[in-house]
Amino acid sequence: MPRDGTLYDDSLWRAQNRERAQFFKTYYGPLGANSLHGLAIVDTISCSVLYANARFLASHGLAPNLEMPALCAAVHGRGSTPCGEGDAACPAMVGAKKGVEHRLTEVRPGGDGLPARTAEIVVIPLTFQSQFGRRSEVLLVEKEQSQAAPATQESEQEYHAAVARHSADAILGLGLDKKVRFWNRGAEELFGYSAEEAIGQDYGLLVPDTDIDRQEYQQLTRDFEKKGLVKNQQARRRTRDQRMVVVNLTRSHVLDAAGHPHGSSEICRDVTLEVLLRELIEHQLRAMNVIHEIGDLLHSTHSVDEILRLILTGVTAGQGLGFNRAFMLLVEDEDKDGGVLAGRLAIGPSTGDEASRIWNKLSKEPVALPDLYSRYEGTTEGHDVLVNSIVRSFRVPMADDSHPFVRSIKSRRAKNVIRGRLTDENKQVDAALCAQLQSDSFAIVPLNTREKPIGVLIVDNLITGLPVTEADLQMLKVFANHAGIALENSRLRANLERRVDELDHLTRRMQETQARLLQSERLSVIGEMAARIAHEVRNPLVSIGGFARLVRKGISADDPRSDYLRVISDEVARLERIVQGLLDYSRPQQTLDLVDVDVPRLVHEIAAMTRLEAETHGVSIVERFDPALKTVHIDGDKVRQVLLNLIRNSLDAMMREGQVVVETALVGDDRFRITVADNGPGIPKDKRERVFEPGFTTRQHGTGFGLAISKRLIESQGGQISLRSEVQAGCTFDIVLPRRVHIEEREPPRS
C-alpha cells in the first residue's frame, strides 16, 4: 500500500518500477560507476531500490550484480521486512517524510560482516506525478569519511595537523595576499595540484575564467572582508586539467596568537556529482512532467490530427523533450498487403535561424505546456512547410522488411541512426533515406498498442547537430507509449461514436416508422367510418338538392321562392363537396413515394438494424456491395420493409449459428438486384411455389402475409421477387428492381 493512503495497482506499479530501474541503469549507470560516493535511488512507496552504484552496494555488503528493483530492506539487512514510514534507520524513508533535501551523518558500528563506517548522507527527495499516481523517490549520496588517524600521534599539535592534512575535504590556507600557504591531501585530490605546485600560487588560479565565475568570486571576497566568514557557498572551480568542479565552500579567518587575522582558511567540499545528478534528475522530472501533461492533454482530445500535433509539440518543445524536428508516420490501408506507412504531420523549423528565433521567443518566460501548445499551434502553419513536405513524401510499404522504419515497427524497438549508421544493427542505412529526411542522425521510435502497430515517430536535432542519446531514446519510448495509447483510444472512440450515431439514427427511424404506422392505423379507422357515413349521407343529399333544383326550374325567377330554392341547392352542393373530400381522403394510399436512395446505405442501415437481433441468434449479417451500384430512384420505404421482412424470415428459419448475406449488384444497364441469402434449412420443393401466396407460412408464428405483401410492394414498382432454395443449403431471395421507377409502371392505363 502506498503511504499516502491512495490505492495503486501493485502489478502496474511493479511494472513502472522495472521501467524506472531500466531507465536509471541506462541514464546514470556510466556516471555512477565512476563515482567515489555511494549513490542510490529508492522508491519510497513500494520501498524498493531502483538504482545503486557499485560503491553503494559494496559499502552495504550487497552483491555487485544485485537485480533492480530490490527491496530497500535488503540494504538494511532486514530480509523482506519493509521499512516503515519515516523509519529512522532508513534514510530514504526519513527523506520522503521530511520532503526537503537534507544531510545526515550515519555512524555504523560494524558487525554482521560489515566494517564500521561513518558516512555523511545527502538525502534528496523527488516527487512527481506519473501515469499511475504520485511517485516519491529519494536520491541518496553517501560520502564515507576517512577513518580517524591512528592514535599513535606524538603530540596534540601534530595530531591536529594530521587531521587537517588527511581530511577528505579540501582544506586551503591563504595568506593575506590570497596566496596559498596550506594545501592538504583533499585539496590535492580535488583540484589536481600537488602541495608543491599549489603553495605560493594565487587563489585566482582556481577560479574559472568566465565573467560569471569572476564576478561571483569578487562578491565572495567582499562578503568575506565585511563579515569575516562565508559559509556553505556554492561555487565553480577549475582543476589542474581544466575540468569544472562544483564546491561547497566555507572560508574563515585564521587568527594569530594575538587574535589578529593573518590569513584565511577555506574548506571545499566537492558537490559536483550531487549538482550534476540533481540537474539531470530535474531535467528528467521536467520531461516526465511534460510527458504526463501531454498525456493529460492527449486524453482530453479525440481528434487524431490534434493528438498528432500534441505529440510532435511535446517532442520538440524546449520544455518538453526538446528535439529540433519530429515527423509522424502512420500505418494506413492495413487490409491491403499489410498496409503502408504514410507521412502525416511534422513539426520543426527548416533553418537554424528560424529555429533560434522560435526557441528564443519561447524560452523568454516559462510557459505551461498547454499554453505553449496553443501558442505554437498558431505559428506552425508558415513554419513547417518544409518538414511537412518532407513527411508527406514518405509512403513506405509495410511489406518492405528492409526499411528501418518497418523494422522498428515490427520489432517494436526504437532505433538510433548516428551519421547514417544504425547503432543497434551496426550497418549503414540507405543514403536515399537520409537524403529524404535531409539528416543523417535521427531516432526511430515505434508507436504501438498491445494489439497492433500504429506508426513511427522520427526525431532529430538537425539544427543543433547533436545525435540522439540512448537516454533520449529511453525517454522517447516512454513518451511513445503514451502517444500510442492516446491514438488508439481516439480511434476506438471514433469507432464508438460512429456506432452510437448509427444507433441514434436507427432509433429515430424506428420511432418515425412506429409513429407513421400508428398514424396510418388511426387514419384507416377514421377513414372507414368516414366512408360509410359519407356514403349514407350522399344519396339523401342528391335527392334534396336535386329536387330543389328541379322545383326552381319550374318557377319564375321573380318568385321569391326561387331564391330560397337556390339557397337549398347551394348548401347541398357544399355538403356534397365536404362528403366528396372525406371519401377521397379515406381512399387507401397506394401511391409510390419515389426518392433517390443510396443502395449501400439502405442495405447497411437494415443490416445494422437487424444485427443485434441476429447476433443473439448467433447469426452474422454480411454486406457485400457492387461498387458500381449507388443511387437509385425507388420507393425506399417499401423496399426497406421488404428487406427487413426477408432478413427476419431468415433469422427465424435458422435454428443454429449461420450467416445472412445481403448483396447488391447491377443487372444490365437499368436494373439492379438485392439478394438476401441465408444458410439455414431451406424450403422443401413442394412448398417453394407457394411461399408468395397470401396466408401461406412454413413457420409456427407469423401471419403468412409477409412474403405476399413483399411481392406486391416490389411488383408495384415494376420489379420482381423470386426464391431459389436448396434443402439444407438455405434460401436465396432475389429482388430485381428498375434503377429508376416511374409512376406509370404500376398504374393501369386510363380509359
Partner 1 sequence: MGQDDAAADAEQKKPRILIADDEPNLRLLYQSELESEGFEVLLATNGREAIAVAASEKPDLVVLDIRMPGMDGVEVLQRILDHNRTMPVILNSAYSSYKENFMTWAADAYVVKSSDVTELIAKIRDVLSKRKGERGGQAGTSAGG
Where along the sequence are the contacts to partner 1 (CB under 8 A)? 534-535, 538-550, 553, 569, 572-573, 576, 580, 583-584, 587, 748, 751
Q: How many alpha carbons lie under 13 Å from residue 706 in its C-beta half-sphere?
A: 19
Nearer to partner 1, 260 or 587 (CB): 587
Beta pairing partners, 666: 672
Element holding 378 (H helix, E strand): helix 369-383
Burial class (CB in 10 A: 0-12, 13-18, 19+), 371: exposed
Q: CA–CA separation, 62 vs 39, rounded Å?
A: 13
3-state secondary structure of 86: coil
Q: How far is the CB of 540 from partner 1 (least distance, A)?
A: 8
Considering the complex, what minimum distance in angstroms separates the CB of residue 725 from partner 1? 34
In the block, which residue shows the cell 554482521? 112
In whole angstroms, the minimum distance from the beta carbon of 550 to partner 1 comes to 5
CB of 585 to partner 1, least distance (A): 11
Q: What is the spatial distance between Cα 53 and Cα 57, in angstroms, rounded to a whole number?
A: 6
Q: Which is nearer to partner 1, 531 or 594 (by Cβ)? A: 531
Nearer Cβ to partner 1 (5/554): 554
Rounded least distance, CB 574 to partner 1, Å:
11
CB-nearer residue toward partner 1: 446 or 545: 545
Q: What are phi and psi of 195, to 5 degrees?
A: -55, -40
Cα-flanking dihedrals φ and ψ of residue 85, to 5°? Answer: -60, 130
347 or 534, CB closer to partner 1?
Answer: 534
Rounded to a whole number of angstroms, the minimum distance from the CB of residue 572 to partner 1 is 5
Minimum gap (Å) between residue 573 Cβ and partner 1: 7
Q: How far apart are CA 30 and CA 303, in angstroms?
A: 42
In the bound state with partner 1, the residue whose beta carbon lies nearer, of 508 and 532, is 532
Query: CB of 593: closest distance to partner 1 in angstroms?
Result: 19
Among residues 484 and 545, whose Cβ is nearest to partner 1?
545
By CB atoms closer than 10 A (0-12, 13-18, 19+), residue 475 is buried
Q: Give per-residue burial for 5-24: e unless 16+ CB within 10 Å, then b.
A: eeebeeeebeebbebbbbbb
CB nearer partner 1, residue 340 or residue 579: 579
- In angstroms, give the least distance from the CB of 534 to partner 1: 8
Residues 60, 114: Cα–Cα separation, whole Å: 7
**Whole-angstrom Cα distance, residue 84 to residue 102?**
20
Per residue, the 3-state secondary structure of 635-672, as one string, reads CHHHHHHHHHHHHHHHHHHCCCCEEEEEEEEEECCCEE
> Going by C-beta distance under 8 Å and a sequence separation of 6 or more, which residues neighbour residue 721?
642, 692, 710, 711, 714, 715, 733, 734, 735, 736
Q: Which CB sits closer to partner 1, 121 or 582?
A: 582
The residue (of 53 and 586) whose beta carbon lies closer to partner 1 is 586
**CA atoms within 13 A of residue 271's CA, in its CB half-sphere:** 19
Q: Which is nearer to partner 1, 504 or 747 (CB)?
A: 747
Nearest distance, CB of residue 529 and partner 1, angstroms: 16
Helix (H) / strand (E) element for 325: namely: strand 325-332
In the complex, the smallest distance separating the C-beta of residue 336 from partner 1, rounded to whole angstroms, is 56
CA 488 distance to own-chain centroid: 6
Cis peptide before 69 (omega within 30 of 0): yes
